[in-house]
Amino acid sequence: MTVRGKYRVALITFLLLMNGFPIADAAPPIDRNALDQLRLIADHTQLTPGQAHAPKPIEGFWVAPDPTNGVTAVAVFRVDTEWFVEVWGACQPTDCPWPRRRLAFGAPSTQSDAPDNATAMWDGAISRSAVFRRDGQDLVVEVTTVFHDDSPRANYHITERLSRLAGATMGKDLPRRTPLESAVRDAYQREFAERVPIPAIFNDERSVDCAGTGHMMTTAYMNGPRNRSTLLQMYLPRDGTQVEKKAVSSVIRPAGTFKTLVVIVGYGVTVSAEGIKLFERAQKQINEDHAAFARSRGYAAPLIVFDNTNVVVAPDEISDPQKPADVRAAAARKGVSLAGYQFIIVIDPNPVRFAGGLAIPPNGNVYVGNFGHWTMVLGQAEWTAIARTAYHHEVAHHWGWIHDWSPTCGATKLGFEPFPAAPALFGWEDVDGDRVPEILDETPYGRSR
């Protein structure tokens, strides 16, 4: 239930995290099931020792500022004398990693014969061949996809242009890290080719699901233009000895003032005029939650502020509250201009249709249904629960949060409530000691310019 941005600023990472569904882009979407059928054909990409230094011009981490053809990020890196590539395609909730492949060099591009071209092959029921070449300051990736199964899908060729993500360097005066922190730092370098000298870590042994299973969690937000960030995530065992899961996603940066439109469907059974005032009180409490957190950390201002506009529509004025287009149309008919809203939330306390909540990409849409199965006029407790679900839960998905960042069972409290996860995992703590929370820091996590 996380978000795919229409404007993807930076996408980084390796390997998949959770189940997902393909994003519909200009080219046919990447199919996670098909990814499982890809297998390594080493003969296509076996390197020779003389090729070990060939790809310097394309070495590094590359991201697509506005991917339209399905490739969102590429990493080119060296292991001993061999060079490898990892590619990510656009998927939900996190981008799909293609299996790591060795690179071969010197192959011609369809558009250029530059000597630093490199190629990689993926074979299986769906085969892909990719050419990587420099064009000025950019990396151009050309991918030919061929379907060998019985589906009617047509083969296709795409070209994506990516920009290098500036590498961070280790700060000179950083404090010494514990062995666990050092292991996580090294994992960022190994898994993402990113230096995160002082990582944000959540490792509370009380954080377990109902089966008693838990893990250590670490995240890093790499801020991009506008209000977007690239989010790196890793799941590790408590001792940090290995990476169990990792992922990357382009998310709305969890910082700033968010202009928010709330459309409330006014069912007579559940919504009263007094109830709207109760909801406004609950909205103020959401902002106070963030303000209180900022005060507790000594910040000059809250990291998160919701600038709310509430609109009430009758049930017959909205076709389907679960469809963002219908919600927007209902608001527009009320004379509301939708320009500038980062989030559009619909509250749908339908007394005869019960439903939970949903964060709907790509434009900051949130749906909150009648998760409490209410069939009476809602009071303060119910409106408070609705507000917390909308702002502390569903909006957090747009920031990249996933339920198992910090699993719990039942009513277990871990100390970061009412937020859904440890604040450090949203970049809201100052983990590198420079008195700036990482989500606002120009050199987050101890990185250098």
pTM over 0.85: no
Q: For residue range 115-125, what is the model confidence (pLDDT) as tens digits?
A: 468 999 887 67
What mean pLDDT do residues 313-319 have?
96
Output 70 or 24, whichever has higher pLDDT: 70
Is a pLDDT exceeding 60 seen at residue 52? no
Of 27-31, 94-98, 188-192, highest mean pLDDT: 188-192
- Which of 388-413 are b and which e, b meaning 16 or more Cβ less than 10 Å from the residue's Cβ? bbbbbbbbbbbbbbbebbbbbeeeee
- State how far the Cα of 368 lies from the Cα of 260, in Å rounded to an integer: 14
- State how far the Cα of 245 lies from the Cα of 15, in Å rounded to an integer: 7
Q: Which fold has domain 21-164?
A: Lipocalin (2.40.128)
Question: What is the gyration radius of the CA atoms in the chain, in angstroms?
Answer: 24
Q: For residue range 253-280, what is the model confidence (pLDDT) as tens digits?
A: 999 999 999 999 999 999 999 999 999 9
Question: What pLDDT is recorded for position 378?
Answer: 97
Question: What pLDDT is recorded for position 69?
Answer: 66
Q: For residue range 56-97, what is the model confidence (pLDDT) as tens digits?
A: 688 888 888 776 668 888 888 776 677 888 888 877 656 677
Structure tokens of 435?
Answer: 């008195």
Output 148 or 321, whichever has higher pLDDT: 321
- State how far the Cα of 321 lies from the Cα of 324, in Å rounded to an integer: 7
Angle, CA 93 vertex, CA 91 and CA 99 arms, to 5°: 50
Question: What pLDDT is recorded for position 12?
Answer: 37
Q: Which residue has the tokens 């960030």?
A: 229
- State how far the Cα of 56 lies from the Cα of 60, in Å rounded to an integer: 8
Structure tokens of 125?
Answer: 């029921």
Domain edges within the chain: 21-164, 179-253+427-446, 256-398
Question: What pLDDT is recorded for position 25?
Answer: 29
Question: What pLDDT is recorded for position 177?
Answer: 61
- State how far the Cα of 242 lies from the Cα of 348, in Å rounded to an integer: 43
**Cβ atoms within 10 A of the Cβ of 155, count?**
12
**Ranges of H-type helices in 241-394:** 273-297, 324-333, 380-387
What mean pLDDT do residues 237-257 have?
93
Sheet with 216-223, strands from edge to edge, namely: 200-202, 216-223, 228-236, 245-252
Question: What pLDDT is recorded for position 361?
Answer: 78
